Chains A and B, each alone.
Chain A
Amino acid sequence: MVDKPSGSNTTSDPASAVPAPPVPLGELLIKKRLISHQSLEQALELQKRWGTRLGDILISKGWIQPFAFYRVLAEQFKKPFLNLMEIPPDTSLWQEEELDHYAEHLVLPFKYANDRLIFACADPSPEAIAYMRKQSKDAFDFVITSKFDIIWLIQREKNDYLVDYAVNDLAVKQPVHSAREVFTTGQLFSIYLILTLLLISLTLWPTPTLIGLNLFVGLFLFINFGLRLLFAWVGGDTRIDVKVTDEEVMALTDRELPTYTVLVPMYKEPEVLPIVTAAIRGLDYPLSKLDIKLILEEDDEETIMAAKELGLEGMFEIIRVPDSIPKTKPKACNYALQFARGELLTIYDAEDRPEPDQLKKAVIAFRKAPDNTAVIQARLNYFNADENWLTRMFTLEYSLWFDFYLPALEALNIPIPLGGTSNHFNRYVLKHVDAWDPFNVTEDADLGVRYTQLNYRVGVVNSTTYEEANSHLGNWIRQRSRWIKGYMQTWLVHMRHPIRLYRSLGSIAFWGFQFFIGGAVLSALIAPFLYFMYFLWLFTQTHALDPLFPNFVLYISLFNLLLGNGLLIYLSTLSVFKRHLHHLIPWALTIPFYWILISIAAYRALWQLIHDPFYWEKTVHGLTEFEHEKDSGHPLNEPKVEAR
């Protein structure tokens, strides 16, 4: 259906393509009784502050139905309004490589008519006009349509291309960085060769070989403990810890803020949908500058229906990800990335509760960071720390990880394994590095390493997103085994060419990667053997293991057992000081039991790496009782990390 407004015209003159509207949009909307005077005044007031277009403000505030707005917009521009769902465009005019730009500018080639290319446009901004002019190379014209028509139409018509892009873009362009191939032939051969040599050595020189293995493990753990101490030391430095102050946030004006894309991948989580949308609305950021994508799987009718029923404001867009393999979060994000319009982009999980000023802090952090900064990682912590033992352990671990280790990794320029959520990307750089690896189940950690390899910088910012700590053991094991499997994938991917990796990272970053990514996996895998040997000796007083522990190995092992483990427990107690969670300190003494769970998850991960490497173990959210209890208060009321 085409609504032809009176006086409509088309032109080849770009200047005349945007004729001065005879009647201001606001007045037109009031005249058509679509908004009230009061809404208009408020919108105009916001427009002064935010510096965005009136229509975006009205839609983001939910003060007008988008479809009605676009009709009026067409009338104001004296252009026909086109319902693309009813009058499909000529898709042969589309260039697939331009699809993301279509989505970005909300423009679609519609058809050729009168020797000119007619575009369907939802927002005839100067940037959109410039883009249409560039694309047409000749005379062009446009008609008005709605934003949702453009997005839905692109998805409907170019589904295969979009999916292929989401799944294979990295694998095609940078196969060496894709986890699509779990083990390369070279890696398998290397493993085979090393283990064969080890077997030969065990056969010919059993005791020296076992002592050598024991020594290797002892030294590895010794260095691992040392590194973690170093990280805690460096990460505890306040000069590293504090990035953006509250004063800097206060000084920031809304007009200078860029458009921010927020990706919210969800799967079968209708119950947390109202919570996450409320959390996003609570962000201290101009709503009209938010480009929010609720990324839902096509087969997840339940969540899609729930999203529709919520009647969300126009800033919320639902991106339906077609059902395809691998069914992973990075693939869904890659898919949604093609519709992103923000200069910056972040990801929040459904249960996330970011601090309100997080986006602003990220903007400032980007401005303060070196030019090659590609991503800023916010801290993660848990709002249900006190729910049970598991959540307490999880909180201790995360506090140490995000409050100490990550700032230290940044300071030492060691690849930072990103946290999966609340990482704030420069969208252009993200696209440039071909985004996330859809085959890696910890795509975030992989991306952090890839950035460092490509000489981009990964930073951290002192803002926290509160998540729901896993309070259910089975759920925790599933989540942790996925993480460890992802670490295995990441290590295998980047160690396909160790020398090349060493050259691209440098020695500190290379060894940091080995110990922080590879070491985390290895220590979880070998821990049960060490526990077994220790308890065997403890309960049986056997001397059978004595040959494996000559004095120098024994002393290293004893050091690791007593001081190393003690040190990690101590660091865990230390970690809660920053967040004033002092009541968790005694619980740190029980963390060795948590390490046992991590080892269990590690072996599950190893099994899955072989049998189902791309399977995404879904973590069930919404199990916590805390969420419901505290939901009335905004999560952002949680205590903030104080700058020291």
Chain B
Amino acid sequence: MSLQQSTKACSGNFVLFIIPIIIFSMFYTHVSMALDEAKTEPAWKRLEQAVVYGSAYQLDSVEKADPFLEHAFTVRLKDLGYRKGITFEGAETTHEARIDFSLPVDTKIEDAHLLLKYRVSPLLNKLANLQVSIGSYALEQVNLNTNGVDQALMVEIPKQFLQGENLQLIIRASLPVTDDRCLDDRLNASNLHITENSSFTLHYSGEIGSIRDAWTLLPSEVILSLPNREFSPAEFNAAWELLDTLRRQGKAVEVVTFPKIGHIVISKREELEKLLQQELDEQQRSTGSQFSIGNIEPSTLALIKSPVRSLIAVLDPQETGAFGLLNSPWRKLGLADRYRTYPVDYADNLSGLGSVPPKENALEIKLGDLNIDTSTRFVRSSIKWNMILDPFRLPPGTRPNRMFLNIIAPPPPGKPPFEFYVYLNDIMVHAATLENGKKQEIAIPLPQKYQEPYNRIQVQVLNIDPMGECKEDLTAFPVQILPDSSLIVERDLKTPKNFTDLPVYFADNFDVYLPAEYLQTPVESLPYVSEVTARLPVAFKTRVAEIVQKGEVVKPTRPFIAFGNLTFESLESPVKFDKGEIEVVDRDKSPLFKVDNLPGITIAQIVKSQQQYGLWLRPAEENAFPDISKLYLNHDDVAFADRTGLLFSLNSKQPTLATVYYPEARDWFALLGKYRFWLFAIGWIALTLIVLYLFRRAKQHRENLGNY
């Protein structure tokens, strides 16, 4: 290397290293100052100051604001279902994602912004870019030629777009690495990951205008406050309904007791008035007169506004509230600040797709009705459709049976046809060749043995011979899964053999049994019950629990879900609790684990009582409510779960690996063993008598025949 070349190289290094250091130092100083000021600023203010508008900078953490206290609402991508964020991969010209955000309609929105946090490959070239737009209106575009560390982009949303119920933001990215598309595909360097903590934030002024807006503005982690006393069954049912509704919306719910006040309160009117008055007094914001909510009918869902805060209250609940309606097309009815709730039958059906006519076994559902993308897509080398079959969106009592995909894929002239693959929960269930440019109907079986409660279906179209010049864009061909493609669901109300059969078995109707003790400690029991029922893909018509008093025997008359330590009439259960210690052992009787050694465990099993089958969840410890937040039921009929999720499951009908064993129980075999010496004596005497008898009979026969 010559001196000149060395100097040039050093100069290049100087530019590469020194300039970013200077920029970073300036940024660090700015951020440090902002953080110092943040101690007295609302959280959303601190967040906004941490990011320079329209530029990409590093950001380590973001605090969230409480929308009911600070006039700001933030929703993260993970709250919208993007649990792992959004990832763009490949050197194709443009990647695109469309994200919908709900907006309050009765509240004055001051401003809103999108905070995108992302990470890109450090190898992207100078033309790599990220664009945010609303429809054809480009809001922001930044270069992605960065050093590969975490980045953030804040995009302010113009006010004219903050109207209506929804806002759809489109994120597009181009991810070239070199000027050679063919090389790009081989480099595996074209990727952009938008993290799940990317968020949309809006600020409003004044008060929340309606109960539907309050519902929209609920944060992702909702706090539910309950009075610290025993609940009535109606209160429990209302709280349970609310919890399930929120959880099925994807929100985390923390249940607290008075005097802590959350976003939602379930109590008597007087209790809430007293609580809010107490808060006003503490903050010295009392008006001098007693705080009053006013006259509100029992079982009313109300938006309560005090000088300190807004909150949603369910007052004097006597009926199970129809909170689910606030997620449905009926949501528009919640335009006032009160919403009288009534018992609702088939609440879930209103948001679903109807039911299978009684005399029919199958129903056809268009994919468009399942919110599955049926727009035209373009394939260069490969393209995928990912579909989730949400059991809550299917008619009750049905399960997917097959799909008919109508697809059009014009083949490139003179090139091999496209390949077509379908995966059900990552298992390939169909492969075909798309022969021509005409509409093709492809029947795809969805075998029951591969199904799960939530079924993931991935459709892939593969161009095995991509066309185009490497220096230019690869030729893209349109492919479309047509909207008249359909899913066939079938009614299958058979006896449940494993957990996955339960949603179908519970389709028509079922009961829920709870011990009366659960009403005494709703703060603990409600999350426990709701954790199960909210995740269980069954269609509740209404959440009304049958409360079982101590000593009472449960006599089910239809399918059921039961919690706690209950006594059933003529129970048949894989795991029995009246035989002492419970062990799960392998085929050689070697213990896999002892239930008593796992105090935080819950045992879920399919049981039978009075010819009715049900799901029974019983904590191993009496009066305990272990955290079972990750209990996903599968193809077995017994499950052991704790706060870490499903520990172990087994199928008692086919105990190929493990069985339940009761070391303290004496079965008939052990009983015989205990008295075996006595049994030997009896057996031997009996044997002797029998042989003597035979001998005597033989002798008699001989004597009788003596004359012949």
List residues of chain A with CB under 8 Å of any chain B CB.
163-164, 167-168, 180-183, 185, 188, 191-192, 195-196, 199-200, 202-203, 206-207, 324-326, 439, 541, 543-544, 546-547, 551, 610-611, 613-614
Contacts of B667 in A (CB 8 A): 544
CB distance from B239 to the nearest CB of A (A): 39
Asked whether, in the complex, the Cβ of A196 is within 8 Å of the Cβ of B705, the reply is no
Q: Is B679 engaged at the interface, CB distance under 8 Å to the other chain?
A: yes
Asked whether, in the complex, the Cβ of B684 is within 8 Å of the Cβ of A199, the reply is yes
**Cα of A531 to Cα of B667 in the assembled complex, Å:** 21
Q: Is B229 engaged at the interface, CB distance under 8 Å to the other chain?
A: no
What would be 9 A-B contacts, judged by CB atoms less than 8 Å apart? Answer: A164-B708, A180-B702, A182-B701, A199-B683, A206-B672, A326-B705, A541-B652, A543-B659, A610-B697
Partner of A199, one of B652, B680, B691: B680
**Cα of A324 to Cα of B659 in the assembled complex, Å:** 65
Q: Classify the interface of chain A: helix, strand, loop or mixed.
A: helix
Contacts of A541 in B (CB 8 A): 652-653
Contacts of A191 in B (CB 8 A): 691
Known: A544-B668, A547-B669. A168 touches B683 (CB 8 A): no
Contacts of B708 in A (CB 8 A): 163-164, 167-168, 324-325
Residue in A closest to B672 when the chains form the complex, CB atoms: A206
Asked whether, in the complex, the Cβ of B701 is within 8 Å of the Cβ of A614, the reply is yes
**Cα of A546 to Cα of B708 in the assembled complex, Å:** 55
Partner of A543, one of B655, B677, B693: B655
CB distance from B668 to the nearest CB of A (A): 6
Asked whether, in the complex, the Cβ of B691 is within 8 Å of the Cβ of A203, the reply is no
- Kindly name the residue among B667, B673, B697 whose own CB sees the greatest number of chain A CB atoms within 10 A: B697
Asked whether, in the complex, the Cβ of A610 is within 8 Å of the Cβ of B694, the reply is yes
Contacts of A325 in B (CB 8 A): 704-705, 708
Asked whether, in the complex, the Cβ of A199 is within 8 Å of the Cβ of B687, the reply is yes
**Cα of A163 to Cα of B707 in the assembled complex, Å:** 11
19 more A-B residue pairs beyond the given contacts A180-B705, A188-B694, A192-B691, with a C-beta to C-beta distance below 8 A: A164-B708, A167-B708, A180-B701, A181-B702, A185-B695, A188-B691, A188-B695, A199-B683, A202-B676, A203-B679, A203-B680, A206-B672, A325-B704, A325-B705, A541-B653, A546-B659, A547-B669, A611-B697, A614-B701
Asked whether, in the complex, the Cβ of A181 is within 8 Å of the Cβ of B683, the reply is no
Residue in A closest to B660 when the chains form the complex, CB atoms: A543
Contacts of B679 in A (CB 8 A): 203
**Cα of A203 to Cα of B708 in the assembled complex, Å:** 46
Residue in B closest to A191 when the chains form the complex, CB atoms: B691
Residue in A closest to B654 when the chains form the complex, CB atoms: A541
Contacts of B688 in A (CB 8 A): 192
CB distance from A391 to the nearest CB of B (A): 35
| Residues of B622-668 contacting chain A, CB below 8 A | 652-653, 655, 659, 667-668
Q: Is B15 engaged at the interface, CB distance under 8 Å to the other chain?
A: no
**Cα of A196 to Cα of B687 in the assembled complex, Å:** 8
CB distance from A389 to the nearest CB of B (A): 32
Contacts of A547 in B (CB 8 A): 669
Q: Is B33 engaged at the interface, CB distance under 8 Å to the other chain?
A: no
**Cα of A435 to Cα of B691 in the assembled complex, Å:** 32
**Cα of A196 to Cα of B680 in the assembled complex, Å:** 9
Contacts of B673 in A (CB 8 A): 206
Asked whether, in the complex, the Cβ of A183 is within 8 Å of the Cβ of B687, the reply is no
CB distance from B691 to the nearest CB of A (A): 5
Contacts of A180 in B (CB 8 A): 701-702, 705
**Cα of A324 to Cα of B684 in the assembled complex, Å:** 39
Contacts of A192 in B (CB 8 A): 687-688, 691
**Cα of A439 to Cα of B705 in the assembled complex, Å:** 10
Partner of A544, one of B669, B680, B693, B697: B669
**Cα of A325 to Cα of B702 in the assembled complex, Å:** 12
Q: Is B698 engaged at the interface, CB distance under 8 Å to the other chain?
A: yes
Contacts of B693 in A (CB 8 A): 610
Asked whether, in the complex, the Cβ of B680 is within 8 Å of the Cβ of A200, the reply is yes
Chain A-chain B contacts (Cβ-Cβ < 8 Å), number: 67
Asked whether, in the complex, the Cβ of A206 is within 8 Å of the Cβ of B655, the reply is no
Asked whether, in the complex, the Cβ of B676 is within 8 Å of the Cβ of A203, the reply is yes
Asked whether, in the complex, the Cβ of B702 is within 8 Å of the Cβ of A202, the reply is no
Contacts of B653 in A (CB 8 A): 541
**Cα of A203 to Cα of B668 in the assembled complex, Å:** 15
Residue in B closest to A193 when the chains form the complex, CB atoms: B691
Contacts of B704 in A (CB 8 A): 325
Nearest first, the 8 closest Cβ-Cβ pairs linking A and B are A203-B680, A192-B691, A167-B708, A183-B698, A203-B676, A199-B683, A182-B698, A195-B687
Contacts of A203 in B (CB 8 A): 676-677, 679-680
CB distance from B355 to the nearest CB of A (A): 34
**Cα of A183 to Cα of B702 in the assembled complex, Å:** 11
**Cα of A296 to Cα of B458 in the assembled complex, Å:** 86
Residue in A closest to B574 when the chains form the complex, CB atoms: A541
Contacts of A551 in B (CB 8 A): 587
Contacts of A614 in B (CB 8 A): 701
Partner of B676, one of A167, A188, A206: A206
Residue in B closest to A554 when the chains form the complex, CB atoms: B587
Residue in B closest to A548 when the chains form the complex, CB atoms: B669
Contacts of B705 in A (CB 8 A): 180, 325-326, 439
**Cα of A202 to Cα of B655 in the assembled complex, Å:** 28
Contacts of A200 in B (CB 8 A): 680
**Cα of A614 to Cα of B672 in the assembled complex, Å:** 39
**Cα of A188 to Cα of B691 in the assembled complex, Å:** 7
**Cα of A394 to Cα of B687 in the assembled complex, Å:** 37
**Cα of A182 to Cα of B699 in the assembled complex, Å:** 9
**Cα of A373 to Cα of B475 in the assembled complex, Å:** 92
CB distance from A52 to the nearest CB of B (A): 38
Contact with A along B168-189 (1 / 0, CB 8 A): 0000000000000000000000
Contacts of A613 in B (CB 8 A): 701
Contacts of A196 in B (CB 8 A): 684, 687
**Cα of A167 to Cα of B694 in the assembled complex, Å:** 23
**Cα of A206 to Cα of B693 in the assembled complex, Å:** 27
Residue in B closest to A189 when the chains form the complex, CB atoms: B691
**Cα of A246 to Cα of B693 in the assembled complex, Å:** 56
Partner of B695, one of A164, A183, A324: A183
Residue in A closest to B667 when the chains form the complex, CB atoms: A544
**Cα of A389 to Cα of B480 in the assembled complex, Å:** 62
Contacts of B676 in A (CB 8 A): 202-203, 206
Contacts of B683 in A (CB 8 A): 199, 202
Partner of B694, one of A163, A183, A546: A183
**Cα of A195 to Cα of B677 in the assembled complex, Å:** 16
Residue in A closest to B697 when the chains form the complex, CB atoms: A610
Contacts of B587 in A (CB 8 A): 551
Contacts of B701 in A (CB 8 A): 180-182, 613-614
Asked whether, in the complex, the Cβ of B684 is within 8 Å of the Cβ of A181, the reply is no
CB distance from A495 to the nearest CB of B (A): 15
**Cα of A182 to Cα of B683 in the assembled complex, Å:** 24
**Cα of A551 to Cα of B691 in the assembled complex, Å:** 36
**Cα of A199 to Cα of B679 in the assembled complex, Å:** 9
Asked whether, in the complex, the Cβ of B698 is within 8 Å of the Cβ of A202, the reply is no
- Kindly name the residue among A164, A180, A199 whose own CB sees the greatest number of chain B CB atoms within 10 A: A199
Contacts of A324 in B (CB 8 A): 708
CB distance from A462 to the nearest CB of B (A): 40
Contacts of A182 in B (CB 8 A): 697-698, 701
**Cα of A551 to Cα of B683 in the assembled complex, Å:** 30
**Cα of A370 to Cα of B677 in the assembled complex, Å:** 59
Contacts of A199 in B (CB 8 A): 680, 683-684, 687
| Residues of B157-205 contacting chain A, CB below 8 A | none
**Cα of A191 to Cα of B695 in the assembled complex, Å:** 11
**Cα of A419 to Cα of B592 in the assembled complex, Å:** 59
**Cα of A610 to Cα of B697 in the assembled complex, Å:** 7
CB distance from B692 to the nearest CB of A (A): 9
CB distance from B513 to the nearest CB of A (A): 24
Contacts of A163 in B (CB 8 A): 708
**Cα of A266 to Cα of B423 in the assembled complex, Å:** 76
**Cα of A437 to Cα of B669 in the assembled complex, Å:** 46
CB distance from A260 to the nearest CB of B (A): 31
CB distance from A534 to the nearest CB of B (A): 16
CB distance from B676 to the nearest CB of A (A): 5
**Cα of A326 to Cα of B684 in the assembled complex, Å:** 34
